Amino acid sequence: MLKMRLKRNGRKRQPSYRIVVMENRTRREGIPVDQIGYYNSITKKLYFNEKKILKWLRCGVQPTNTVFRLLILRYKEEYTSNSALFDPDTRFIGTWLRKFNKNQNRRKCKPIT
């Protein structure tokens, strides 16, 4: 099963992450199928290719919780209702958004700020 997840790179105590599509059983630094974007957790800089993300989501790739929160953060700020990725009526993000809201009540996880 393919997953959209973070791949760590950067120096010691200076992490930065690439947003990649990988097989879920491979290790964190394994070879990715496709690189979609990057996220620097220190400067909070986030970039990803929207066309590639939509392509992979339509193919059935599941984003991890962290990547999903990053997508939601980005599109709540910039596009809210204009983006096809954040539109609650679309089948792939709409269902994940509903599942994410239900799971927030069960899990005690810190939101990314």
Q: How far apart are CA 80 and CA 91, in angstroms?
A: 16
pLDDT digits (tens, 9 = 90+) for 93-111: 555 555 555 554 444 444 4
CA 42 to chain centroid: 17
Is pLDDT above 60 for 112?
A: no
pLDDT digits (tens, 9 = 90+) for 7-62: 999 999 999 999 999 998 888 778 899 999 999 999 989 998 888 888 888 888 88
For residue 96, which of 105, 85, 107, 110 has the smallest C-alpha distance? Answer: 85
**What mean pLDDT comes out for the span 75-94?**
54
Question: In the block, which residue shows the tokens 């996880």?
Answer: 109
Residue positions counted in the chain: 113
User: Residue 85 is encoded by which pair of tokens?
Assistant: 């990725």
pLDDT value at residue 69: 86
Domains of the chain: 2-106 (3.30.1320.10)
pLDDT value at residue 27: 83
42, HSE (Cβ side, Cα atoms, 13 Å): 9
Cα-based angle 55, 57, 60 (whole degrees, multiple of 5): 115
pLDDT value at residue 57: 83
pLDDT value at residue 38: 93
